Structure formats: C-alpha cells, structure tokens
Amino acid sequence: MESARELPHDLEAERALLGAMLIDKGACDEVINLATPEDFYYDHHKLIYEGMKYLHDGGAPVDVTTVTSYLMDKGVLDKVGGVEYLLQLSESVPTTAHTQYYLNILNNRSLLRRLIKECTDIISSAYDGDVGDMNDYINGVEKDFLDVTRDRNAGEFKDIHDVIDEVTQRLYKLQQSGGVVSGVKTGFRELDKLTSGFQPGDLVIIAARPSVGKTAFALNIGFNSSHNSEEAVAIFSLEMPATQLVNRLICCAGRVNNDSLKNGSILKENASKYYAAAERVGQCNLYIDDTAGIKIGEIAAKCRRLNQEKGLKMVIIDYLQLIQGPTNSRESRQQEVSDISRQLKAMARELECPVIALSQLSRAVEQRKGKPMLSDLRESGAIEQDADIVAFLHREDYQNKEKEQEVNGITEIIVAKHRNGATADIKLVFEREYSCFSNYTTEEMPEGAGIRDVRPQ
C-alpha cells in the first residue's frame, strides 16, 4: 500500500528563519511582517514563531532567553525541544543576509499547501454532491481558489520607482497614440478625447430612461471596440435575446433598416447589403451571454474564464438593475444593488479591463422635465460612488414629440462624473432606424441627404 505523501515544506528554510529572528532584530521585523504561524509546517516551529510574534508585538526583545521564558509560561518548552533546540537554532545561522531568500521558500511552500487543501476540499464537496445552486458553487470555488493566490501580494507596498516606471510607460503609450487615447476606444471622437478611452479597471455607468437608446449606444461601443480586435468584448444581455442584439449590430454595421430585418424583406430587396453587414459583424471579437436573471457571481466567473481563454478587452452589462444578488440574500433590493455595484468595480480591477454597466434612471427626471442628474440614478447612491465614469443619454425629443424634427436625432452624452478627468456634454447623432450613433458634425449637407455616417471605418 502506498504511503501518504508529505505536504510541501522545507525544514532548512524554517530553521534558518527562526534562527535569524533570535539573533537579529531586523530579520525578526522582516519575517513577522511577511509570515504567519500557518506558514510553518512543523508544529514545534509554529509554537516558537507564535512566541516570537507575541514578544515582538508587545515590544519585548526576541532572543533565546525571552522565548524560553515565554514557552515555559505556556508549558510547551519541552514540546518544542527545550532550550537546547533554541540554542541550536541561534547557533546554526552564520548570517542573516539570506532571510528574504528563505522567506520566499517558506511562503511558496505554504501557498502550495493551501492550494492542495483547497483542491482537496473541492473534491470532497463534489463527491458529497450537496452543493446547492451549481452556479453559485462554481463561482465560490473559483473565487476561493483565486483568493489563495491573490493573498501572496495583498497589502504589499509599491516602490515609488516602480510606480514612476508605470507612469512613464503610460506616457509612452499616450505619445504613440497622439496623446489622445490610451484606453479602449469607444469610436466616438469627442468622448474618446475627453476620457482618453475607457481605462482598465474603470466602472462606467451609462444611464437613461427607457427607449432613449442606451442599449444601442452600448452596442455601438461594443462593435467599435471589438471589430478586428485580438481581445474579446463580453456582452451580458439580461433583457434582450442574443438574436435581437445581433440584429441591431447588423443594422448599425450596414445601415440596414430595422424594419427590413424584422419582416425579412432585406433578403428580397438587397441581400448583398445584408450579407456584407453580417460579414462585418462577424469580424467582431464579441461574446454574448443572454441569460435572464444572471447572478453577479456568474458574471464574474464567466468573465474570468473568458479572460483566461481569449483575453478580455471590455465587459458590457445590459442592465445593472436586472442582475441578481446571491441566492440566499436577505438584504433590501437597494442594498443588493449597492453590493452588485461594488462587485462590478472589484471585477473591473481584477480583470484589468473597463466594465460598462447600463442603468435605469428614476422617474424624477421625467417629472422635472430637465436633464438627468446623478441623484436620478435608480435604487442606489452607491452606484455613483463606485463608478469612475457616469454618463447620461438625453434627447430633447424624448418628452416633447414636437421637437423631433427640430432635434433630428441629436443625443447628448452627459458625462456627469469623471473620476480622472473633466466632465462635459457631448453631442452625437442617433439614427433610430439603423440603431446607429454617429459623431456629430456641423457641416452643411444637401437637402434630403440624411445624416452622414462619420463613424470610424
């Protein structure tokens, strides 16, 4: 019968660290800041380290005498090998110069043991079969597994020189892009100029009342950023099936009238136009999930997997208020939305890509008959706090149909919050029949020419 395998550990590294702590205060400070008792594999080493940490935290010196006294008071001196073993530790370390080297070994072995434990727990629970909701279970497994590895660098300081290097590299990228766009391009000239593109880690909230065009606007951004892109753009559509989203994308890409797709007449009237538009949409690196009532944990889990497999450029969610919280949540819906908002921001930082979440506005904006404000965000003020950018879509003809001809599709993108830059009102042109937003231009156009498509090709 095969004997049980030992968990990863390193006796020499543990002895070297404990010995260094007994003879050098600097080494003691370094180890205590970066190690825990659980990082030590041997029980007698854990006891010794706990005693050292207790003395250190209390401001007492850490040496053979003080540690011996502490272990005697606890009644465990014999259990660790007596004072002879402590003396052996202190006398076996010729230099403390290699403390960091042994610390790395200690931390790595400890991490491997934690990973093994996590995997063992996963296997055990999977065999039991009683895991509750499968999607919640899988998301919890992924999160716990990632937390193990993420804890390695949690709380570490960033050296100022490393940060300066990051800033310098960003400046190089800005210079190469003409100083305009360093993040993900939306395809809209003035918006990209204002934001320098949506930045990795940004949570972007796009809000409007129903039927103003927020879904179409988000799809336009998704199309522009994913066309011929090596990295994927993920779209979560909680309200509309994937087929309808692709219909809108085809209309926008080929300036195909919505009605001709709905009734199928496009194939009779101009089939080549449809196939050309469909081909262009097919060149987009887009992934669509149209699961209704998807939970925030499922969104995060699917994005992690897509990021590992394809690389993730951007995430678009339509819309925030339809996302479900945990199955067992007993919180109010307002608190639940607040939690979802915070998790979306955390997801953006973890995946290092912008996350765009569409949001509804309260009816207050209609009652006021004015432009949207941050206080109009529905259900939670936490959305405003967590977001890096909050942009509202506003059309003058939304409440006043008499202005429809006068406005001629002009839509304002009101950037009401911009954590890292200025705010502004940006004009775009919305052609509803094509589900298409275009850059606004003041150039004179021939009568009957319609709105010229000035999107980047």
Is residue 277 predicted with pLDDT exceeding 80?
yes
Q: What is the pTM for the complete model shown? A: 0.65
Is residue 179 predicted with pLDDT exceeding 50?
yes
| CATH superfamily of the 9-149 domain | DNAb Helicase; Chain A (1.10.860.10)
Closest CA to 298 of 262, 269, 322, 274: 322
Closest CA to 299 of 235, 386, 379: 235
Question: What is the per-residue pLDDT for 314?
Answer: 92
Residues of the chain with CATH 3.40.50.300: 183-451
Residues of the chain with CATH 1.10.860.10: 9-149
Q: What's the CATH fold of domain 183-451?
A: Rossmann fold (3.40.50)
Count CB neighbours of 167 within 10 A.
Answer: 8
Is residue 354 predicted with pLDDT exceeding 90?
yes
168 to 160, 180, 192, 250: CA distances (angstroms)? 12, 16, 21, 40
Comparing 13-17, 180-184, 324-328, 391-395, which segment has the lowest mean pLDDT? 324-328
Banded model confidence at residue 47, pLDDT cuts 50, 70, 90: very high
Question: Tell me, what amino acid is at 201?
Answer: G
DSSP class per residue in 405-425:
HHHTTEEEEEEEEETTS--EE
Comparing 14-28, 124-138, 191-205, 247-261, which segment has the lowest mean pLDDT? 124-138
- When comparing pLDDT for 16 and 267, which is higher? 16
The token pair at 452 is 């010229």
Banded model confidence at residue 357, pLDDT cuts 50, 70, 90: very high
Edge-to-edge strands, sheet with 203-208: 286-289, 232-237, 312-318, 355-360, 203-208, 389-394, 410-418, 424-431, 436-439
Question: Tell me, what amino acid is at 198?
Answer: F
Cα gap 95→30, rounded to integer Å: 15
Question: What is the per-residue pLDDT for 151?
Answer: 54
Question: What is the per-residue pLDDT for 212?
Answer: 83
The token pair at 68 is 């011996």
With a pLDDT cut of 70, the percent of the chain lying above it is 83
Question: What is the per-residue pLDDT for 275?
Answer: 87
Average pLDDT over residues 184-188: 87
Is residue 181 predicted with pLDDT exceeding 70?
no
Cα gap 367→370, rounded to integer Å: 8
- When comparing pLDDT for 105 and 266, which is higher? 105
Cα gap 411→218, rounded to integer Å: 14
Banded model confidence at residue 457, pLDDT cuts 50, 70, 90: very low
Q: 93: which DSSP letter?
A: -
Q: Give bridge partners of residue 184 from the DSSP assignment.
A: 198
Q: What is the CA radius of gyration of the chain?
A: 29
Question: What is the per-residue pLDDT for 454?
Answer: 37
What contacts 12, CB < 8 A, 6 or more positions away? 102
Is 430 strand, coil or helix?
strand
Tokens 């570490």, located at residue: 156
Average pLDDT over residues 90-101: 84
- The answer to whether 298 and 135 have CB atoms below 8 angstroms apart is yes
pLDDT for 408-456, tens place per residue? Answer: 678 888 898 898 888 888 888 888 888 888 888 765 444 433 333 433 3
Is residue 158 predicted with pLDDT exceeding 50?
yes
pLDDT for 293-309, tens place per residue? Answer: 888 878 887 888 888 88
41 to 15, 139, 309: CA distances (angstroms)? 11, 30, 35
Comparing 202-216, 299-313, 403-417, which segment has the lowest mean pLDDT? 403-417
- When comparing pLDDT for 2 and 410, which is higher? 410
Is residue 121 predicted with pLDDT exceeding 90?
no
Cα gap 210→200, rounded to integer Å: 28
Question: What is the per-residue pLDDT for 446?
Answer: 42
Helices (H), 227-380: 242-254, 258-262, 266-282, 296-310, 333-351, 364-368
Cα gap 410→431, rounded to integer Å: 9
Q: Is the peptide bond before 42 cis (omega within 30 degrees of 0)?
A: no
Comparing 31-35, 123-127, 180-184, which segment has the lowest mean pLDDT? 180-184
